[in-house]
Structure 1
Amino acid sequence: MCGRYASTKSAADIADEFQAVDATQESTLPVPGADYNVAPTKSVLSVVARHPRDSDGKADPNRTVRSVRVMRWGLVPSWAKDPSIGNRMINARSETADEKPAYRKAVVSRRCLLPAEGWYEWRREGKAKQPYFVTGTDGASLAMAGLWEFWRPKDGGEPLVTAAVLTTAAIGPLTDIHDRMPLLVPSDHWETWLNPDLGPDADELAALLHPSEDDLTSVVDRMELRPVSSKVNNVRNEGPALLERVDLAAPVEEQKTLALDLNG
């Protein structure tokens, strides 16, 4: 998976879709609005499930609350000297995340979902790279499996909450553009994935981290692979036009004109 995706629904809409509480007002990070070109280090919306804590900070083991939170894309391990390491830790391989020092604690108890309309990939076609948008066909958000962490500065400042997207081997037509894809969690497995009490040896967790070919195929069969304008190459470009299909058969000059027109 390349480091770019689209997340355009509001926190309130995400909370409704994922049956969660909107807790974004508690964040010290800026709450993101519609973002058609999400890039590393940006604030992103995530869905987590945690045991609520009382005024003394004691967790209630008998209750679990699912909430929408704001995190920065690019996981910063708790032991990192500074947060810049997160710039290159936007993705984690699902096959080995539980073995890596940066991710293994998060695999056990800090799993999240990162809602998205879809993600971008680039395929070399001749001398250029053609961007594609990979999205579902039913209008529902894709739930990308993620891991999250707290990082606290030594000076006692505000903690930073960060996340990484888990990836798995691509399958079917997606292999034509990249050998990896985000690990997507179907809605009937959200509760299992978010369960903070699910132990590292649980069969249910292993099944989600290492999906079968049939499981992946059932997800990919509901995906659309859409060529889009090269305007998305620049992280400063924004707007719904970035998701619009382009005609690859159109003359090169016509495609360039379309790209220039996307931001009006």
Structure 2
Amino acid sequence: MCGRFSLLGTPEEIAAYLALMELEAFPPRYNIAPTQPILMVIAGETPPPGSNRPDRRALLVRWGFIPGWVKDTANYPLMINARSETAIEKASFKTAMRHRRALIPASGFYEWRRDGNRNSQAYWVRPRNGATIAFAGIYEPWANAEGSEIDTGAILTTSASEDLRFIHDRMPVVIEQKDFARWLDCKTQEPRHVADLMRPAQADFFEAIPVSDKVNKVDNTGSEIQERFVETFAEAKKPGRVKPPEPDNQMKLF
């Protein structure tokens, strides 16, 4: 799964990577948590004839997917992830999978491993080359009873690559840059046409760095949460599902 992630590149670097015209300025975000706004990139309208640049636009989305048909969110679960293997079959996600696929720029994500005594160890999982990556995402507008509308979204997950299974059995789907256009093309590319993109990252693409439990607290938003930390247990155990700490319900932009 993916319960926290970071976005550390400059707006200029991220815009260039995702072929956006520009992005508004924002600071590095070290500890992005559910219910907070996240940056998504979606396909725009058809670019003008002769243009050699794809038409894409940035969108701020609440991290926590709410299907459009939900009337009351009080008792509705916080859906921050969607299993890529079954999303097209689920009533909650199938419309977004067909019509509203997105890219989520990131610098890496956090995951928790626990031992037989239910002690947990947090890891900062980042690309070995330090580059920006893009998670596969879906989004959907949701309106409350008063008519106020927000865009909501989720990160698609897949089985973990072999080298990360000692932490957890799931990881975010990473879309390679060469596949951006195909993933975002919801006009001609149905979910079955892009199913091959929803796979684990290659082994050794990521490195997992043990970090302290500072990342557990949403209010800790500085670079110190990514500093290497002595692991709380040394022997790798069979991974179990570990639910990250519940975040504060917040909608501050940065």
For the superposition of Structure 1 and Structure 2, which TM-score range results when normalised by the shorter chain?
A: 0.7 to 0.9
**Structure 2 contact 140–153 (Cα < 8 Å) conserved:** yes
Residue 13 to residue 100, structure 1, CA distance change in 2 (3 Å): same
**Structure 2 contact 174–201 (Cα < 8 Å) conserved:** no
The CA distance in 2 between the partners of 1:119 and 1:67, in whole Å, is 23
The CA distance in 1 between the partners of 2:153 and 2:73, in whole Å, is 12
Q: Write the deviation string for residues 11-55 of structure 1: whole angstroms up to 9, x where unpaired.
A: 44321221113466xxxxxx96422111100011111112269xx
SS, match of residue 67 in structure 2? coil
The CA distance in 1 between the partners of 2:221 and 2:137, in whole Å, is 24
2:234 is the counterpart of 1:240: no
Query: Superposition RMSD on alpha carbons, in Å?
Result: 2.5
The aligned amino acid for 1:16 is A
2:156 is the counterpart of 1:174: no
5 Å matches for 1:1-264?
A: 1-22=1-22, 33-51=27-45, 65-83=55-73, 88-125=78-115, 127=117, 128-157=119-148, 159-200=149-190, 202-203=192-193, 205-209=194-198, 211=199, 216=200, 218=202, 220-248=203-231
Residues paired across the two proteins, number: 227
Q: Shift of residue 183 of structure 1?
A: 0.7
* TM-score, scaled relative to structure 2: 0.80
SS, match of residue 176 in structure 1? coil
SS, match of residue 214 in structure 2? helix
Q: Shift of residue 116 of structure 1?
A: 1.0
The CA distance in 2 between the partners of 1:235 and 1:196, in whole Å, is 34
The aligned amino acid for 2:17 is E
**Structure with larger RCO (C-alpha < 8 A, sep 6+):** 2
Q: Shift of residue 118 of structure 1?
A: 0.7
The CA distance in 1 between the partners of 2:75 and 2:151, in whole Å, is 13
**Structure 2 contact 173–201 (Cα < 8 Å) conserved:** no
SS, match of residue 72 in structure 1? strand
SS, match of residue 193 in structure 1? helix
**Structure 1 contact 40–87 (Cα < 8 Å) conserved:** no
The CA distance in 1 between the partners of 2:55 and 2:230, in whole Å, is 45
The aligned amino acid for 2:42 is V
Residue 18 to residue 77, structure 1, CA distance change in 2 (3 Å): same
**Structure 1 contact 51–64 (Cα < 8 Å) conserved:** no
Point out where structure 1 has 5 or more consecutive residues left out of the alignment: 25-30, 54-62, 251-264
The aligned amino acid for 1:224 is E
The CA distance in 2 between the partners of 1:14 and 1:122, in whole Å, is 27
Structure (1/2) with the larger helix percentage: 1
The CA distance in 1 between the partners of 2:5 and 2:92, in whole Å, is 23
**Higher radius of gyration, 1 or 2:** 1
Q: Write the deviation string for residues 187-236 of structure 1: whole angstroms up to 9, x where unpaired.
A: 11111111121342653x12123x3xxxx352x32210110111111111
Residue 248 to residue 206, structure 1, CA distance change in 2 (3 Å): closer
**Structure 1 contact 41–87 (Cα < 8 Å) conserved:** no
Q: Shift of residue 10 of structure 1?
A: 4.3
Q: Shift of residue 242 of structure 1?
A: 1.1
The CA distance in 2 between the partners of 1:23 and 1:52, in whole Å, is 20
Which 4+ runs in 1 deviate beyond 4 A?
83-87
The CA distance in 2 between the partners of 1:118 and 1:247, in whole Å, is 20
Point out where structure 2 has 5 or more consecutive residues left out of the alignment: 48-52, 234-254
